[in-house]
Chain A
Amino acid sequence: NAGVTQTPKFQVLKTGQSMTLQCAQDMNHNSMYWYRQDPGMGLRLIYYSASEGTTDKGEVPNGYNVSRLNKREFSLRLESAAPSQTSVYFCASKPTEWDEQFFGPGTRLTVL
């Protein structure tokens, strides 16, 4: 099992450009999450999907959209990137409601 995979690993965007961060898990997990990690801020929840076909906002959703394409894949889209979205983005998944989360390796995004 590859676990949770994320693409790309690194990305540089100019202000106003759009892009989609991809996440996939091969563990048949129901719930998937997107977090961002900034220095001195800890991990903060952007969006989550409790199960296939559902998505909901987390703590910091502004400027982002998500799609739960199927049970395996959960993508994060930046429609018009801003420098404030420079961060490291992590995708996570968990099998059932009360289990621990498993994290992907992250995408380091820089917006100039």
Chain B
Amino acid sequence: EDQVTQSPEALRLQEGESSSLNCSYTVSGLRGLFWYRQDPGKGPEFLFTLYSAGEEKEKERLKATLTKKESFLHITAPKPEDSATYLCAVRALNQAGTALIFGKGTTLSVSS
């Protein structure tokens, strides 16, 4: 069964304290791993897509990496505005409608 597990469920950081979020996946035929950011009361906002092991992508203080079993979202010197829930999702080769399978998310709180 295809599934996505994110850890930790919640993470509290001080401003400037770098850390990483984990996304472990089991999927038959990965056709993309996606990271989204979701602010309270809003829809998920697309951040990155990774397709193959070893691939990395960066955007401001965020860097996403991918291995054959997991992905990491590294947050360097976070600011309070980085506080949000970060969602990881995968697309499997045989997934109906090429829809996404989502993890439950990691809620990040950054305090100043």
Q: A72-112: which residues lie under 8 A (CB-CB) from chain B?
A: 90, 92, 97-98, 100-106
Determine the distance from Cα of A98 to Cα of B87 in the docked complex, in whole angstroms: 18
Contact between B43 and A106, CB atoms less than 8 A apart: yes
CB of B104 within 8 A of CB of A33, answer no
Verify B42–A105 contact, CB threshold 8 A: yes
B43 in contact with A104 (CB, 8 Å): yes
Digit string of B30-57 for contact with A (CB within 8 Å is 1, else 0)? 0110101000011111100100000000
In the bound complex, how far is the Cα of B45 from the Cα of A105, in angstroms?
10
Q: Given A40-B104, A42-B104, A98-B32, does the pair A90, B43 have CB atoms closer than 8 Å?
A: yes
Q: Is A56 a contact of B96 with CB atoms below 8 Å?
A: yes
Asked if A12 is an interface residue, CB under 8 A from chain B, the answer is no
> Using Cβ atoms and an 8 Å threshold, which residues of chain B touch A56?
96-97
CB neighbours of B41 from chain A (8 A): 106
Given contacts A31-B98, A48-B97, A98-B31, contact A41 B46 (CB under 8 A): no
What's the Cα separation between A100 and B36 when bound, in Å?
Answer: 10
Q: Chain A residue with minimal CB distance to B42?
A: A105
Instruction: State whether the Cβ of A63 lies closer than 8 Å to any Cβ in chain B.
Output: no
Question: What chain A residues lie within 8 Å of B49 (beta carbons)?
Answer: 100
Q: Does B10 contact A (CB under 8 A)?
A: no
- Alpha-carbon distance between A45 and B91 when the two chains are bound, in angstroms: 13
CB neighbours (8 Å) of B46 from chain A are 100-102
Interface residues of A (CB under 8 A from B): 4, 31, 33, 40-45, 48-50, 56-58, 90, 92, 97-98, 100-106
Listed A/B pairs (21) with beta-carbon separation below 8 Å: A33-B97, A41-B104, A42-B102, A42-B103, A42-B104, A42-B105, A43-B89, A43-B100, A43-B102, A45-B96, A45-B97, A45-B99, A48-B99, A49-B97, A58-B97, A90-B44, A100-B32, A100-B49, A101-B100, A104-B43, A105-B42
